[in-house]
Amino acid sequence: MPSFSQASYPENFFVETSDMLLTAPRPQFLYAQLFLGALGASLPVPGAFGLSGRELPNAGVTADVNAGMLTLSNPMYSEVIAAKVDFSGSAGSALRINRPIFSNTTATEAARKIATGQTISTTPITIQSDQTNLTLFKYGGPYDATNSRVAPYAIEAFDANIGVHNAVSLVGGHMKYDFQRFIDSVNVSLLDLAATVVYPDGMTANNDATAVGSFPMSLEQISRTEQLMDDANLPTFSDGFRVLVLKPRQLKQLKDDPNYQRASENHPAYNVLFPQYVASVGKFHIFRSTTLTTSANSSSVNIDYGHAIAPGALLAGMGRAPRVATSTDDNYGEQAKMIWLADLAFGLADNTFVYSVRSAE
């Protein structure tokens, strides 16, 4: 061993941590951006944590832990949300919203003709309606998976006064990530409740796929989804399109379909508004999301759940705005404990306005 080296004379050396922060892969929470954009809401992180007059020090370099966010497309049309409800100051935490049910009775010329002298019935018939409920609840995060409960992040004042990276910016970034991930996850679960499931040709249930590659996504499946939504008289956005959100694997399968290659197109003007959206085909603008559901079937083949969405599919509501709350348990100002809180309402306005577009890996 040399007479002078890090091994022989370690007292002369120390390990240094760079003030650079590497990016970590994280998705763009497409439905969270859609939901929050419709409500005009966000989670503001304060510049300092702690109770008023007892804020923690802010030493260290400000760190952006969300710098690795994968931006695949901008938020979609806010018209996906049928109703944006402000519960602040309302008389209650639940709202019922009516929806008419139109009757499709006999409409032939012969059935509706009233002959001369014919007595017209005086017995009335009824019109029908149904309701959907939107209920406001208080939500919070982050989540302690070990103990199955909402639990705070905590910062020690002593440690916040030293260190390479600013503790407030680090913890605040993790809070924003958890907040957006929660909202995205709730809306994915709601859209998975679609009344209609559209499978690739020849597939009628998840368990039909017994081998990898047996039922990929194709243009035929997209065209059939478009036709089914047209037959159901579902609305389109102002540009005549609906929204189709797919997983990367489904998009890869589409790109391998020569019919899709010929039929799909990009709109330069649309790209300006929605950078890196995938393409448009038929009556669909296609978006990519990495947070959609994947479920293994009985043959251990992964089934991907895409969403074909018409405007008016979801509901959104808010009471008190999202916020970071600090616990009064701060050990004489030596420790700050923080959670995020938000009064939010989630709902599926009409499960017939979204189709679950599934395919096998």
- Over residues 14-67, the pLDDT tens digits come to 555 545 555 566 677 889 988 998 888 989 888 777 777 777 766 554 556 555
Cβ pair 292, 309 in contact under 8 A: no
Q: What pLDDT sits at residue 272?
A: 55
Residue 102 domain flag: no
- Within this chain, do residues 166 and 247 fall inside the same structural domain, yes or no? no
| Least confident span in 135-144, 167-176, 244-253 | 167-176
Residue 92 domain flag: no
Q: What pLDDT sits at residue 73?
A: 46
- Within this chain, do residues 219 and 71 fall inside the same structural domain, yes or no? no
Residue 281 domain flag: yes
Q: Which of 195, 215, 175 is nearest to 308 (CA)?
A: 195
- Chain-wide mean pLDDT for the chain? 85
- pLDDT mean over 217-246: 95
Cβ pair 330, 336 in contact under 8 A: yes
Check whether 344 has a pLDDT greater than 60: yes
- Within this chain, do residues 208 and 293 fall inside the same structural domain, yes or no? yes
Q: What pLDDT sits at residue 320?
A: 94
Q: Which residue has the higher pLDDT, 79 or 193?
A: 193
- Within this chain, do residues 174 and 228 fall inside the same structural domain, yes or no? no
Domains in the chain: how many in total? 2
- Within this chain, do residues 238 and 136 fall inside the same structural domain, yes or no? no
- CATH number of residue 266's parent domain: 3.30.1930
Check whether 98 has a pLDDT greater than 90: no
* Helix, strand, or coil (residue 270): helix
Residue 6 domain flag: no
- Within this chain, do residues 141 and 273 fall inside the same structural domain, yes or no? no
- Within this chain, do residues 150 and 266 fall inside the same structural domain, yes or no? no
How does 27-36 read in b/e, with b if 16+ C-beta sit within 10 Å?
A: bbbbbbbbbb
- pLDDT mean over 206-230: 96
- pLDDT mean over 102-123: 89
Percent of the chain whose pLDDT exceeds 70 = 83
- pLDDT mean over 326-340: 90
Euclidean distance between CA atoms 163 and 233, whole angstroms: 60
- Within this chain, do residues 163 and 29 fall inside the same structural domain, yes or no? yes
Q: What pLDDT sits at residue 59?
A: 56
Q: Which residue has the higher pLDDT, 249 or 262?
A: 249
Residue 355 domain flag: yes
How does 110-137 read in b/e, with b if 16+ C-beta sit within 10 Å?
A: eeeeeeeeeeeeeeeeeeeeeebebebe
Residue 206 domain flag: yes
- Within this chain, do residues 150 and 290 fall inside the same structural domain, yes or no? no
- pLDDT mean over 104-131: 88
Cis status, amide bond into 142, omega within 30 of 0: yes
Residue 143 domain flag: yes
Check whether 360 has a pLDDT greater than 50: yes
- Within this chain, do residues 44 and 170 fall inside the same structural domain, yes or no? yes
- Within this chain, do residues 56 and 185 fall inside the same structural domain, yes or no? yes
Amino acid at 100: P
Residue 113 domain flag: no
- Within this chain, do residues 265 and 222 fall inside the same structural domain, yes or no? yes
Domain that holds residue 306: 197-314+350-360
User: Which of 82-91, 217-226, 267-276 is most confident?
Assistant: 217-226
* Run of H or E including 188: helix 167-191
pTM: 0.85
- pLDDT mean over 167-193: 91
Check whether 72 has a pLDDT greater than 70: no
Residue carrying the six token digits 């404990």:
337
